[in-house]
Chains A and B, each alone.
Chain A
Amino acid sequence: MSIKSKIINVGIADIKVGKDADVLRTTLGSCIGIVLYDPDQKIGAISHIMLAKDPTGKDMSKFPHKYGETALPILIDMMKKEGSEIGQYNCRIFGGASMFKGINSQFLQNIGEQNILIVRKFMEEKKIPIIVEDVAGNEGRTISLYCDDGRVLLKKAGMEKYLYKVR
């Protein structure tokens, strides 16, 4: 991390864009972190979604960043505003440790899976390749995206490793 680096925390149900020396960081349980990175322009973004869809239909207009169906188009728009179009970036996904153990609700038990599915479907439709996935299980994950070269530092279950694949 260089002296110019600025750590930008991406909270739960939040989207942030960064470039060059910025470091975007988020912590995930059953939520999914969607990382987009444009290696030529050194522009990156993380969207931290909680659920694929709004179960009530009332919350998503107030908190669009919470749900995959509303957050993903916003994520694409935010990249566009920074000057990065589809085709210039790839996608990586992390999290989705959806383990609502001990309860019967199908909805709750499938949160992680539904999150993964909606991201895959969206990226396929938009022709954005998903090049790295570290999802499911019952571990928490902290991911840091270094916008200078696109590497992701993944911390989970006592281990830390850099993932360098960006194209």
Chain B
Amino acid sequence: MKFYRSHILVGINETSLKAGVQDFIQTLRLELKKNNLQEEINILETGPLGFFGKGICLSVYPENVNYQDVRIEDISELVSEHFLKGRPLSRLMLDAAGKFSPILNYNKRIVLRNSGIIDPESIDEYIGAGGYEALEKALTQMEPKQIVDEVKKSGLRGRGGAGFPAGMKWSFTAPIEAVQKYVVVNADEGEPGTFKDRLIMEGDPHQLLEGIMICGRAIGANKGWIYIRGEYKLCIERLEKAIAQCREYGILGKNIFESGFDFDIDIRIGAGAYVCGEETALIESLEGNRGNPRWKPPFPGVKGLWRCPTVVNNVETLANIPFIIQKGADEFLKYGTPECPGTKVYTILGDVAHPGLCEVDMGSTLRTIINDYAGGMKKGFRFKAALVGGAAGVIIPDRLLDVKMDFASLNQYAAVLGSGAILVMNEHQSIVDILWSIIRFFRHESCGKCAPCRNGSEQLYRLITKIKKGEGTMDDVELMLLIAETMQQTSFCALGQSPIMAIRSAIENFKDEFITITSN
């Protein structure tokens, strides 16, 4: 193995590809060679680095210096300053100290432990980082029941939003006798503001595959499906590559690790429908139908894909599995809170200094996440509110900034953790406006199967548009609450049950704004 003085990690994502990252890397290589540094400095193409720039972002290890929006024209200066003279180039550094990286600076990581560090397109690097050890353990040293018990013991709760205990979900399906069972990965991430699953898959696709296979072994399935958004091109490419590499190495296919276990994984591409994030709608879509949710029970765990027992898990949930199996549930329990162990991956957006991706302990406060991981508010702005959990989430005002972010604590505020989006708004943003945008989203995405959601979202949109224009009254505001509450109680699936969250939190916490706009 070769040793290098420094590693330049180059984040490859949609934005950097657009900014011409491939040409950039080529030029960087030539420049290093020109300075005779090619044996000392290594370039690593990797996944998300945890912060977003408008172009190409770099992290330099072990110095831990982060650069953003680097252009081809900057390369010669960068190489001569940083790598020849050893002085980081301050004008391109992420912040004054240049050390800010929410993803790389903190050690408490499970899901993102390899993200931004290994090359996501290389199975060898994943294996070098301890990858597929958990699978080997699960196949050769553990009985399926032991795997389920270990996941149960870990207290892992589903990371898709609902927070249902993962081990319990598996334990319903595992004992069922069936000719065929399936593992389905819900990677149809349509929640506005949420794209952590995309980054998890782009940064470390093998970890997800390993989680799927371990789940397959635990519940007795030999086929996995990844249902992924059609828009996620890079993600799809990386997963396809990872699957091909696994097949080549005999990690997918027949008799894996000579344990007698067969397993294969295929990708299915979605076509743009938010409701397909609901597990039964997703199954309908996988079968080639409209994504209308099914009546439950029977639950997918008993009758799912093609009426076979099916476990549907979110990407992040499955990405936790290799860690739990490799290191044991006790190690996992050291993270987070006793009720909600582990970590949570968030995307932080809006008016913060460094929008990005981070993984924090369950139960960290919203204030910590915004200040320590997103660098606080963007210069010159004051915090007004945060939309937590995407469109199906709640609007949290500053007096609740110290709320602990986990399933149990948020419940006390009738709030949800959702799928991990935090959209931060400054004092100039209008809550009525944002609520209008949220309701427009629900109206557009209602699948139309049930009347409360179909008609309710239309009426909500009509009312909020009227209020936004300044033509509404407080009676209209009250009526919105009534409609949303009715939808919550009578809608067929979670989509129609969700608008109440944003509406209630907006009206309760920012009533003044509604009074002002309706009395004009």
Does B associate with A?
A: no
* Interface positions of A (Cβ within 8 A of B): none
